[in-house]
Amino acid sequence: MDWKSAFEEIEKIKQEAQVEINQAGDLSQQETWRVKYLGRKGRLAVLTSLLANSPAEIRPKLGQAVNELKNYLQALLKKVSKEKKVSRKGKNLSLPGKPAISGLLHPLTLTTRRMVEIFVRMGFGVYTGPDIETDFNNFEALNMPVDHPARDMWDTFYLNQEGTLLLRTHTSPVQIRVMKELTPPFRVVAVGRCFRRDLLDASHSPVFHQLEGLMVGKRISFAHLKGILIYFCQELFGKQTRVNFTPSYFPFTEPSAEVSISCVICRGQGCPTCSRTGWLEILGCGMVHPQVFRKVGYNPDEFSGLAFGIGIERTAMLLHGITDIRFFLQNDLRFLRLFT
Amino acid sequence: MRYSYSLVKECLKEEISPDELLRWLETLGLNPAVNVKTDKEMLFEIEVPANRGDLLSILGLARAIIPFASLTLCLPSAEVDPTLSETFPVDIENTEDCLYYSCRVIRGVRVGPSSREIREKLEKIGFRCSLNVVDLSNLVMAETGQPLHVFDLNRLNKRIIVRRAWKNETLTTLDGRERELDEESLVIADDVKAVALAGIMGGANSEVTEETTDLLLESALFAPRRIRRSSKRTGLITEASLRFEKGIAYETVSLGLNRLTWLILNLAGGQAGPVCQAGIQPKSNREIYLSRKKLRCLLGTNIPPKFPERLFLNLGCQVRVEKEAYRVEVPGYRQDLQEEADLIEEVARYWSYEKIPVSFPETTIVPTPSSPEYLLVERVKDILVRGGWTEVVGSSLVPIEWLRFYEQESLRLVNPLSQSASLLRGSLIPGLLEIVRFNRARGVDSLRLFEVGTIYLGQPVSERLSLGMVIFGEDAYFVLKGYLELFLLESGVEKVAWKKTDQFLASEAGMITCDFEGKPVARQFIPGEEITNFFDLDNQMVSVAEIFLEPLKSNLFRPRPFVPPPLFPASRRDFSLLFPIDVDWSQVEKIIYQLFLPVEKISVFDVYQGEKIPADRISISFSVVFRHQERTLTTEEINQFSSAIIEAMDKHFGGRLRQ
Ligand SMILES: [Zn+2]
């Protein structure tokens, strides 16, 4: 539209607005009407922006017309919002009940609780830690000194030029905090938000959540790691789930392993979700690296420990068959209401 | 890295099948991705872990599978008899940057395209071919893992020096780009100029061309840390830099140089000089002690004592078996094997994780507490969900334009991915309003949302646990206020008292705040137009609240005291009074309580403003419940109390009974 047809447009808006407001029965429809006509990107706003680009000789006249329109629309809204709504009366028992309002937990909370509950049953305490971490806790204490090539495994957001403050890339720094605070033996899980400099797509999000586990004691072994995690996977995904451990590499565990479960979608037959392998990688784990123990002043000859980290979004996606990680932070109510 | 089955086979004496190779690599957890597979050939790719530089070579991969079938390694031919005596002077400025540097002159070489056989080998593993001597250096890198460089000898001036770059020094690398260097980078230079970015890429000024006949081959040991820094600094990551930053063994340096010499002499002719070298020759073998007990305890299984012994021998180690331990001398190329735990992992990998039993720890029960923050957050969610509120989870990273909605200094990312996610949220409110906008645009007409999450402050850098609530719908402000009071009472705030203040982001109506133990704990307001316009909302339909959870931590789990239900009945009286339009209701309640009557509860049930009463008045209808703990109140007493209230309302507020 250009400024020449602006006057016609004003008349058109007046007529349409009048008709539509009479059809707007309740407050929310009136609000929709308001956004359409008076909103930030509403029809009035379009005219106002046009005004700025109109020729000088026509501007005063157009300005006046736009202003009149604005008053007209506001008056319409005021008049209608004063009129009382008709309440539903009478004794017709077939009319529907009033919509009930119920609260909902976010699917990430629901999934986290399901996961945490399984570990609490095995005697784990639940911890948290800050999102803003030091380079020391996020990397160095986890056996990744400055210039260690393994740091490339996590693309990091920094909060200062020196690179000493960052947004944690995993919940593993909570391991360091817990070990400094407690005396073995202990077992804890930690839940929290993590950050990686990954572009947002269907399976990557720069902001995501993890559940971390750590158990330290005198004779904790790889066999125990297997026992605990197989129990966890079968409790969460069903007793028939097969659980597979393969060697992997993390700087802060030795030996390290990756855990896969038989695909929850196709039960191991092969489907697109599992890239036709029948297996889904679900978590990373291992025995605490002696260097990590040394960094927090534990004697690796006296203690051993097991540790694991699980992505909460990924787990929720597998549990519910959610296909896109972006749903979690978008908070579309139509999505949230699926998981009550 | 990309590998071909045929190249791996060349490094082994025995025959193996592609399937066997694949199975072994999978057992080791290397996740080979197969691109091409026939009976005779298999091309595959492996993402090599950061600690396994040795696997960035065909030889390394062959070594890794030897233990599965006690295979025999077949090193590539590399015996060289120098026929020239010509040397070339070499110097290292600092052996912390470059531990060892070796080179060799070759004269009379036929430079040209490679033979078809060589080209095929290289193309299968993803290299692009150019001149034969360059192709051969790539082949040797793939075979041995040693990055090599070939200079045109006649374009070098007098000598080689390995030094840091000078400030503002530039070098045009082989890819044709001019690179600005600084003291963080290491260069190879001759007497007058830099001729290569050490360990990363050669320089165009000393590049081999078709006219070249005389070469200088370089094989060196650069410090991993220096190459990593230099590579990050110049933003140049190459096959060479990836290998150097993961570490290379000293033995590989001479194997690489001799292998390349052998190939050039045999395939492109020429006469070779002796090895010229500088630097130190680091001892790369390590002895690691592995206790059998530790092995048993950490894996939770008994592994037959012969298994580790044979394994380490097959991996190229020397093993001394003691009564309760192994002393293992590890070759230099296995830089990942640094201590006992590394050897234990190696045993577990070859033994197979699958064969390790499954068990639960036998442990002394030592109760481990949960952190109060976690319990608090989950409790808060339950209280709100019970009240019909919906939990949302917003991102911590928000658009830079939201900066103006945060009251305190905000925190920004130094290296954001985009402006739309470059700021850390300093409040939950804008995020909640955005979620309202998003859902409004999809036709949702009433919303009650909350988020419990972290907010971030810049001065000083810190984070805080916050609860945000937003309501969209009719009578938003008062509906939210009711829930907020309920929430605060359930969270252990004994008495909710509101103060009115002007505040940031609030509309002209201002904001109400509530203190707890002397600290502000909650605030509620109708957002002002600046923010509601931004999110395209009508501010009469929206109200928001922010609650700081820290102060509530201690009270939330305190057991509530028992109070016996009252024995005597209560009486209720209703009042309809006209007040000045801006009356402060908290003051009204305060005055009524200060009359010291047996008042149990005061509640407002109707408010009217309009044509039937004067324009400067508001009609408030409220009820007061009276109850005495020890007896039933008489009608006369109630009448007296009521009169006292009406009198006090008139005296303090000019409140009159509505006619
Ligand atoms: Zn599947």
| Structural domains in chain B plus CATH codes | 3-69 (3.30.56.10), 90-279 (3.50.40.10), 286-355 (3.30.56.10), 372-556 (3.30.930.10), 571-657 (3.30.70.380)
Question: Which of the listed residues A41, A56, A87 is the one where a domain comes to its end?
Answer: A87
Whether the per-residue pLDDT at B495 is higher than 90: the answer is no
Structure tokens at A202: 């269907």
pLDDT(B558) > 80: no
Asked whether residue B164 carries a pLDDT value surpassing 80, the answer given is yes
What residues of chain B lie within 8 A of the CB of A153, using their CB?
50
Assess contact for B299 and A222: CB atoms under 8 A: yes
Look at residue A159 and tell me whether its pLDDT is greater than 50. Answer: yes
Subunit contact A219:B297, Cβ cutoff 8 A:
yes
Q: Which pLDDT band holds residue B236 (cuts at 50, 70, 90)?
A: very high
- Vertex A21: Cα angle to A17 and A24 (nearest 5): 145
Q: Which of B225-229, B384-388, B488-492 has the lowest average pLDDT?
A: B488-492
Residue A125 distance to chain B (closest CA, Å): 5
Do the beta carbons of residue B488 and residue B384 sit within 8 Å? Answer: no
CA–CA distance, A194 with A174 (Å, rounded to integer): 12
The pTM of this model reads: 0.84
Task: Assign residue A223 the CATH number of its domain.
Answer: 3.30.930.10
Torsional sign, CA B94, B100, B101, B102: positive
Strand, helix or coil at B172? strand
B381 interface with A at CB cutoff 8 Å: yes
How far CA B288 is from CA of A8, A312, B55, B283, B649, in Å, comes to 89, 39, 21, 15, 89
Rounded to whole angstroms, the Cα distance separating B605 from B593 reads: 19
**Identity of the residue in B224, B299, B440 whose CB atom sits nearest the CB atom of A222:** B299
> How far is B477 from B550, CA to CA, in rounded Å?
25
For residues A308 and A262, state if they share a domain.
Answer: yes
Q: Using pLDDT thresholds of 50, 70 and 90, give the confidence band for residue A87.
A: very low
A206 and B417: CB-CB below 8 Å?
A: yes
Cβ-Cβ pairs closer than 8 A, A with B, add up to 246
Which among A45-49, A113-117, B39-43, B166-170 has the top mean pLDDT? A113-117
Cross-strand partners of A257:
A247, A285
Residues A35-55 have a mean pLDDT of 83
B596, two tokens: 């010291």
B657, with CB counted inside 10 A (0-12, 13-18, 19+), is exposed
pLDDT of A91 reads: 63
Which pLDDT score is estimated for A122? 92
Q: Could you identify the residue written with the tokens 């203190």?
A: B515
**Chain B residues 302-341 with CB within 8 Å of chain A:** 339-341
Distance, in Å, from the CA atom of B487 to the CA atom of B559, rounded to the nearest integer, reads 16
- The predicted model gives B44-59 an average pLDDT of 94
Give the pLDDT mean for A170-178: 96
Please judge whether A258 and B246 are an interchain contact, meaning their C-beta atoms are less than 8 angstroms apart: no
Tell me the three state secondary structure of residue B287: strand
More confident residue, A192 or A74: A192
Domain assignment present for A104: no
- The answer on A122 and A28 residing in a single domain is no
Q: Is residue A94 part of a domain?
A: no
pLDDT in tens, B205-215: 999 999 999 99
A322 found inside a domain:
yes
Q: What is the mean pLDDT of residues B341-360?
A: 95
Q: Is residue A324 part of a domain?
A: yes
* Spatial separation of the C-alpha atoms in residues B620 and B638, rounded to whole Å: 20
**Residue A98 falls inside a structural domain:** no
Contact A128/B at CB under 8 A: yes
**Domain shared by A123 and A71, yes or no:** no
Same domain, A23 and A168: no
A149 to B445: CB separation less than 8 angstroms, yes or no = no
Contact B177/A at CB under 8 A = no
| Interface with chain B: mutation pick from A38, A178, A221, highest number of B CBs within 10 Å | A221
Q: Which of A41, A126, A193 is facing B536, going by the closest CB pair?
A: A41
The answer to whether A34 faces chain B, any CB pair under 8 Å, is: yes
Among candidates B29, B353, B463 on the partner chain, residue whose Cβ is nearest the Cβ of A131: B463
With a cut of 60, say whether residue A88 has pLDDT above it. Answer: no
Q: What is the mean pLDDT of residues A68-75?
A: 86
Q: Are residues A73 and A197 in the same domain?
A: no
H/E stretch holding B471: strand B462-472
The answer to which of A182-191, A308-317, A319-328, B359-368 has the lowest mean pLDDT is B359-368
Residue A39: its chain B contacts at CB < 8 A?
536
Residue A86 has pLDDT above 50, yes or no: no
Indicate whether A274 and A149 sit together in one domain: yes
Show residues of chain A in contact with B229, CB under 8 Å: 147
Other C-beta atoms lying within 10 Å of the C-beta of residue B640: 13
Distance from CA of B444 to the nearest CA of A (A): 8
pLDDT of residue A90: 55
In a domain, A102, yes or no: no
- Indicate the burial class of B573 (C-beta count within 10 angstroms; 0-12, 13-18, 19 or more): middle
pLDDT band at A43 (very low <50, low <70, confident <90, very high): confident
Cα torsion at B194, B199, B202, B203 (round to 10°)? -20
Is A12 inside a domain boundary?
A: yes
The answer to whether residue A257 is domain-embedded is yes
Higher-pLDDT residue of B182, B503: B182
For residue A201, what are the contacts with CB-CB under 8 A and spacing of at least 6? none
Quote the domain boundaries for residue A243.
109-339
Question: What's the pLDDT score for residue B243?
Answer: 94
The answer to whether the Cβ–Cβ distance between A159 and B438 falls below 8 Å is no
Range of lowest pLDDT (B301-305, B436-440, B553-557): B553-557
pLDDT band at A84 (very low <50, low <70, confident <90, very high): very low
Within 216-245 of B, beta carbons closer than 8 Å to A belong to: 224-225, 228-229, 245
* Burial label, A205 (beta-carbon count in 10 A; 0-12, 13-18, 19+): buried
Range B25-30 average pLDDT: 92
- Percent of chain B's residues with pLDDT above 70: 100
pLDDT of residue A1: 63
**Structure letter (DSSP) for residue B416:** -
- Say whether both A75 and A129 belong to one domain: no
**pLDDT score at A146:** 87
Chain A stretch 170-209, residues whose beta carbon is closer than 8 A to a beta carbon of chain B? 182, 185-188, 191, 193, 195, 197, 199, 206-207
Residue count of chain A: 340
Higher-confidence position of B372 and A111: A111
Domain tally for chain A? 2
Closest CA to B153 of B105, B189, B109, B191: B105
- Give Cα separations from A83 to A29, A80, B227 (angstroms): 14, 5, 76
Contact B353 A290 (CB under 8 A): no
Least confident of B107-116, B498-507, B548-557: B498-507
- Does A330 reach chain B within 8 Å, measured CB to CB? yes
